[in-house]
């Protein structure tokens, strides 16, 4: 009975988690909380026990400086807009992954890192901390890798925009599984 109840809670959190993209308030996202969430999130599956991730936290005090530097990597006409956009969340967690040369290992590392990010996202949601994994163009910008001291053999998997929020994000429906499910028929 207990087991059924636990599964139901997990399913509920999985279904209710949302990407929080806007409407952040000023409540501070602390390094302590982020570390706490990460300590659980890193129990994601990881092939060869490579645990290919590392993290850079940008807190609310560093955010404005970071936003300015990242925005400066854009063409001049976009800089003001990008700086304002990057000042919206309270903090960032940049997720970085080791990039092996073998395609198989790269795929495994990306899969493990994505699973870890989902863990983090769910755990944050449980604490009512808003998260969105973003892959804006600056994530792929070599100058941003320099700003963050990211190595040549590393990939910036994404910026996790973090912030508490007052307004519930809207739900986006999923395509029913039956529409994507078939049986192998020999
Ligand atoms: C790998 C990945 C990259 C994403 N990049 C962005 C992004 O750059 N900008 C954005 O607004 N949302 C981004 N998202 C969030 C999705 O837009 C969001 O998860 C989707 O709209 C479904 O909404 P939900 O998470 O609230 O269910 C990304 C999600 C994933 C998994």
The whole-model pTM stands at 0.95
Say if 139 falls within a structural domain. Answer: yes
- pLDDT tens for 103-112 read 999 999 999 9
Assign residue 54 the CATH number of its domain. Answer: 3.40.109.10
CB of 136 shorter than 6 A to ligand 1: yes
The predicted pLDDT at position 7 comes to 55
The torsion defined by the Cα of 144, 147, 150 and 155, in degrees rounded to 10, comes to: -10
The predicted pLDDT at position 6 comes to 47
Q: Whole-angstrom Cα distance, residue 113 to residue 106?
A: 10
Q: Whole-angstrom Cα distance, residue 18 to residue 121?
A: 9
Say if 105 falls within a structural domain. Answer: yes
CB-neighbour burial class of residue 177 (10 A; exposed 0-12, middle 13-18, buried 19+): exposed
| Mutation pick for ligand 1 pocket among 19, 110, 140 (CB with most ligand atoms within 8 Å) | 19
Ligand 1: nearest atom to the Cα of 169:
26
Q: Whole-angstrom Cα distance, residue 133 to residue 135?
A: 7
Q: Whole-angstrom Cα distance, residue 37 to residue 124?
A: 7
Q: How much is the mean pLDDT over the chain?
A: 96
- 20 CA to centre of ligand 1 in angstroms: 9
Domain containing 102: what range? Answer: 28-165
- 119 CA to centre of ligand 1 in angstroms: 15
Is the confidence at residue 8, as pLDDT, over 80? no
Say if 90 falls within a structural domain. Answer: yes
Q: Whole-angstrom Cα distance, residue 97 to residue 54?
A: 6
CA-nearest residue for atom 9, ligand 1, is 134
Say if 15 falls within a structural domain. Answer: no
Say if 133 falls within a structural domain. Answer: yes
Is the confidence at residue 184, as pLDDT, over 50? yes
The predicted pLDDT at position 75 comes to 98
- 131 CA to centre of ligand 1 in angstroms: 10
CA-nearest residue for atom 16, ligand 1, is 19
Say if 125 falls within a structural domain. Answer: yes
**Number of separate domains in the chain:** 1
- pLDDT tens for 147-161 read 999 999 999 999 999
Q: Whole-angstrom Cα distance, residue 65 to residue 70?
A: 9
Q: Whole-angstrom Cα distance, residue 43 to residue 49?
A: 11
Is the confidence at residue 46, as pLDDT, over 90? yes
Say if 9 falls within a structural domain. Answer: no
Q: Is the dihedral of CA 97, 99, 105, 107 positive or negative?
A: positive
Backbone angles phi, psi at 137, to 5 degrees: -50, -35
Which whole number is the average pLDDT over 129-134? Answer: 98
Say if 129 falls within a structural domain. Answer: yes
């Amino acid at each position: 009975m207990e087991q059924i109840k636990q599964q139901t809670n997990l399913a509920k959190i999985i279904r209710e988690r949302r990407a929080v993209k806007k409407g952040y308030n000023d409540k501070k996202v602390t390094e302590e909380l982020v570390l706490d969430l990460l300590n659980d999130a890193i129990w994601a599956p990881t092939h060869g026990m490579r645990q290919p991730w590392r993290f850079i936290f940008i807190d609310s005090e560093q955010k404005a400086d970071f936003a300015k530097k990242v925005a400066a990597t854009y063409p001049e006409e976009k800089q003001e807009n990008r700086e304002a956009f990057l000042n919206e969340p309270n903090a960032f967690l940049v997720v970085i992954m080791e990039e092996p040369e073998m395609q198989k290992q790269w795929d495994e590392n990306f899969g493990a890192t994505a699973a870890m990010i989902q863990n983090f996202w769910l755990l944050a949601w449980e604490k009512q901390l808003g998260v969105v994994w973003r892959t804006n163009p600056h994530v792929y910008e070599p100058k941003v890798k320099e700003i963050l001291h990211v190595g040549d053999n590393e990939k910036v998997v994404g910026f996790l925009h973090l912030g508490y929020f007052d307004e519930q994000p809207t739900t986006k429906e999923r395509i029913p599984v039956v529409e994507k499910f078939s049986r192998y028929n020999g």
